[in-house]
Every structure is written in structure tokens, then in C-alpha cells.
Copies of this chain bind each other. A is one copy, B any other.
């Protein structure tokens, strides 16, 4: 009897890719714009998503799926925006997978949404290679993390559609060198659109909102 050996990593990735395709077809059929938001822990994903959901209502009806190893703190925070939020806890797993997103969607009324934000587990490595079925992949890093993040985590940045530089109100306190950071992004992720903003002061949020509203409208019109 012949035995075919399939590398486990490859097989799991192929299964994830298949489920991600199903997710994507389902989201497109519902004319839903879906973002997969990645960053290291504490870069400000939840803060940006909470404020985005709040400020875009009622123009854009948003919902959110949020992944963490433990606690549902983030879903609780995100619900303060008035948007529905589903928490996924992954235990020791360092990324979300397409199947988890599919299951979480069962707890959401997708027909009542224009925009679905998926906040991934705080990690710049593992989530980079897992497609969830999103339209847009957003990678966020804060001015306090240093200008070299794109060089040191190239895989996640190479796959980004959007790079958000967050907490720009703290740029001076962090001695953040903006031009160097932008040059590093351009070098690793020339394909990415860059937004720079601060949830605390509101600086730069309007451009981000305009982009989301315009893309959500385009999706809604098929």
C-alpha cells in the first residue's frame, strides 16, 4: 500500500485557504466590506476600531469579531460603540483562522452590516500567513514601537493593503522619526496605503473614515 505523506503545515494552510475562500464568497454575496486588522500587542487596534465604529454610525453599520488568547475585555470595550462584537478566545494559538471567523459569523446578522472589522490576535508574526477571507488587510504599528518594524517583520508588512501608524500624538515623546518610518514602509510594503492617526486627539481619523466609507459604498453597490 502506498502512503502519501502530506506535510502537516501545508495541509492545515490549504484547509484554511479553502475556508477563507468560502468566507470571502459569503461576504461578497452580502456586499460586506471586511477588514483583517493586525498588530503587535498594545499598538492600539481596539482603540482605533472602537472609535471608528462609533464615529461611522449611522452612516456605516459596522460589526466586529475580535481574537485574543484570553478574556473578552476587547469585545466588551468594542460593544460600547453600539456595534455588535463577537469575541474569539484562542487559548495558546497566536492567530485567527478562517474557520473561527466562519463560526463567529453565526453570531452576527451579516445582512444588517456594511462593514465587518476583524481584530486579530496581537502578534506581528503568526497571523501574517492566514487568510480569513477579508477584502483588506490592515497592519498597524504605533510610534512608540520604533521606525524599524517593517524591516523586522517583513512578512506581515509585505501582505498589507494598508499600514496605519498609530498614536501619533506621542510621536514627540517617543522621538519618532517619521521620514525613516515612511521610508521603511515604502521599502517593504510599496503596495500599501499609509494612514497616520491618533485616536486620542482625532488627528488623521477623517482620511481613514473617508477611505472606509468610500470602500464600503463601492461594495454595497456591487
Contacts and interface: CB of A to CB of B under 8 A. Distances in A.
A114 interface: no
Interface string A110-134: 0000000000011111101100000
Contacts of A27: none
Given A94-B94, A123-B125, A124-B123, A152 B69 contact: yes
Nearest to A143: B144
Nearest to A91: B155
Interface size class for chain A? 35 or more
Interface in A19-43: 40-43
Given A149-B42, A151-B73, A92 B142 contact: no
A75 to B, nearest CB: 12
A177 interface: no
Nearest to A154: B70
B94 A141 contact: no
Given A69-B153, A94-B94, 10 more contacts: A40-B40, A40-B42, A40-B122, A69-B125, A73-B148, A73-B151, A92-B128, A125-B126, A170-B173, A170-B174
**Which 6 residue pairs are nearest across A and B when measured between Cβ atoms?**
A42-B145, A94-B125, A144-B144, A173-B173, A40-B41, A40-B40
30 contacts: A8-B8, A41-B124, A41-B145, A41-B146, A41-B149, A42-B142, A42-B144, A42-B149, A69-B125, A69-B154, A69-B155, A70-B151, A71-B152, A73-B148, A73-B151, A92-B125, A92-B129, A92-B155, A94-B123, A94-B126, A122-B153, A123-B123, A123-B124, A123-B125, A144-B144, A144-B170, A144-B174, A169-B173, A170-B174, A173-B173
